[in-house]
Amino acid sequence: MTRVPPHSAPPRSRPPPRAKWRLGEAPWQELPPVPGRRARAIVDNDFSGDPDDLPQLVHQLLTTNVETRLVVASHLSPGDQFDPSGHTAQNAERIVRDLFSRMGLDSTDVIRRGSKVGLRDRTTPALSPAVDAIVAEAMRDDDSPLFYLAGGGLTDLASALLVEPRIAERMTLIWIGGGEHADLASPPPNAMPVEYNLLIDVAAAQVVFGDSDIPIWQVPRNIYRQYLVSGAELRIRMAATGPLGRYMYDEIAAVLRAVAGFIGPAETYALGDSPLVLLSSLQSTFEPDSSSSALVVRSTPAISDGGAYLPSPDARPMRVYTRVDTRLMFEDLFLKLAEFESWAARVE
């Protein structure tokens, strides 16, 4: 439901000009960060849907030790209530470009639009500019780890794997999506039969889970539903920091107002995509890993046509997270946002 900026906005509705910077720089840090990087990242999200992807992307772009190489603007399910337009990938790209403008970030060369539709079957890729860029980045001569950070459907990753299967051994997928594993948790009350992000493209998930060798770190529905922030946190630690924080708050507040008529007003909102940053960028110093979060390792299941897990005992291992460090995740988000807004206010 993130509102799509018009192609030609009147002057009063345009975001204020921001001080310019590029990825790889951190001018908002008075104490310069340690130079270099630990890893690379491809961010893939359905940015015209739930606005929880806005804080995730801002957080990722303000993180210095993992280099953001691509931002993939992906599609939603046909008729999705957040954006029923039929142009969800195009709208997602416009939202990302608008966000970069609001941040003063000149590195728009990393943005790629994904496919506008899901896979028609498990063998035919849905080609797009994003797929070409994913393959090129994965096959690039670079020894640093590559994380594929997906907060929506898996169409563009699955298509890239179909085009060039060798990329599976050159990256790790961190995915916010998939339903509960029966031995770990029960679905929430009145749950969707197929989890939201999985429903966007079940065939793509079948390719990624069952037809490829890519390592998977999964944050399923029962876990991402836990990442609640309160209305007070959103008002004081997001909206009050400056124009960027207020923009993200307003997009979240618009959803809360829209749903209040039939489920009542809520004092919380789930920033369910934020673990993408935590698990890739906020790892331990020594023996780097997502050591402050808990997980289980199991054989990667296949996915049925109906979105259920199918046991595959001899399949490659995957991680399923059972607890995520919300203190580290949200404190880092809010402090980086405040640090950035303070710098921007001084230099503008």
pLDDT digits (tens, 9 = 90+) for 210-263: 999 999 999 999 999 999 999 999 999 999 999 999 999 999 999 999 999 888
Is residue 11 classed exposed, middle or buried when 0-12, 13-18 and 19+ CB atoms within 10 A define those classes? exposed
Q: What is the pLDDT at residue 187?
A: 95
Least confident of 33-37, 131-135, 151-155, 265-269: 33-37
- Alpha carbon 228 to chain centroid distance? 16
With cut-offs at 50, 70 and 90, classify the pLDDT of residue 7: low
DSSP 221-287: HHHHTT-EEEHHHIIIIIGGG-HHHHHHHHHHHHHHHHHHHHH---SEEE-TTTHHHHHHHS--SSS
Residue 40 contacts by C-beta under 8 Å, 6 or more apart in sequence?
A: 66, 67, 68, 69, 137, 142, 144, 145, 146, 147
Q: Are 198 and 177 in contact (CB under 8 A)?
A: yes
- b (16+ CB within 10 A) / e for 105-116: bebeebbbbbbb
With cut-offs at 50, 70 and 90, classify the pLDDT of residue 3: confident
Residue 336 corresponds to which tokens in the numbers above? 């980086």
Residue type for position 175: W
If residue 154 lies in a helix (H) or strand (E), which one and from where to where? none
Prediction pTM value: 0.96
**pLDDT above 80 (res 348):** no
Q: What is the pLDDT at residue 262?
A: 85
Which is more confident, 89 or 14? Answer: 89
For the stretch 8-40, pLDDT in tens is 555 445 566 678 999 999 999 999 888 889 999
d(CA 95, CA 83): 12
Residue 72 corresponds to which tokens in the numbers above? 């993939």
Q: Are 18 and 49 in contact (CB under 8 A)?
A: no
> What average pLDDT score do residues 144-161 get?
98
Q: What is the pLDDT at residue 43?
A: 98
Query: CB under 8 Å, gap of 24 or more: what pairs does 80-89 form?
Result: 80/49, 81/1, 82/1, 82/2, 82/48, 82/49, 82/50, 83/1, 83/4, 83/48, 83/49, 85/48, 86/116, 87/116, 88/46, 88/48, 88/49, 88/116, 89/113, 89/114, 89/115, 89/116, 89/128
If residue 172 lies in a helix (H) or strand (E), which one and from where to where? strand 172-176
Q: Which residues pair with 71 in a beta bridge?
A: 43, 111
Residue 203 corresponds to which tokens in the numbers above? 């065939």
Query: Domains of the chain by range and CATH?
Result: 36-234+270-326 (3.90.245.10)
For the stretch 187-222, pLDDT in tens is 999 999 999 999 999 999 999 999 999 999 999 999
Give the largest Cα separation in the chain, rounded.
59
With cut-offs at 50, 70 and 90, classify the pLDDT of residue 73: very high
Q: What is the pLDDT at residue 14?
A: 56
Query: How wide is the angle at C-alpha 22 spanned by C-alphas 154 and 332, nearest 5°?
Result: 65
Q: What is the pLDDT at residue 246?
A: 98
Residue type for position 286: F
Q: What is the pLDDT at residue 1?
A: 57
**pLDDT above 60 (res 96):** yes
Owner of token pair 């509102």: 3
Residue type for position 194: V
Residue 129 contacts by C-beta under 8 Å, 6 or more apart in sequence?
A: 112, 113
Q: Using a pLDDT cut of 70, give the percent of the chain over it.
A: 97
Whats the size of the chain, residue-wise? 348
What is the Cα Rg of the chain in Å? 19
Q: Which residues pair with 40 in a beta bridge?
A: 67, 146
Residue type for position 44: D
For the stretch 130-143, pLDDT in tens is 999 999 999 999 99
Residue 24 contacts by C-beta under 8 Å, 6 or more apart in sequence?
A: 67
d(CA 103, CA 137): 25
Helix crossing, 155-163 with 202-210: angle to 10°? 50
Q: What is the pLDDT at residue 11?
A: 47
**pLDDT above 90 (res 113):** yes
Q: Are 2 and 85 in contact (CB under 8 A)?
A: no
For the stretch 47-70, pLDDT in tens is 999 999 999 999 999 999 999 999
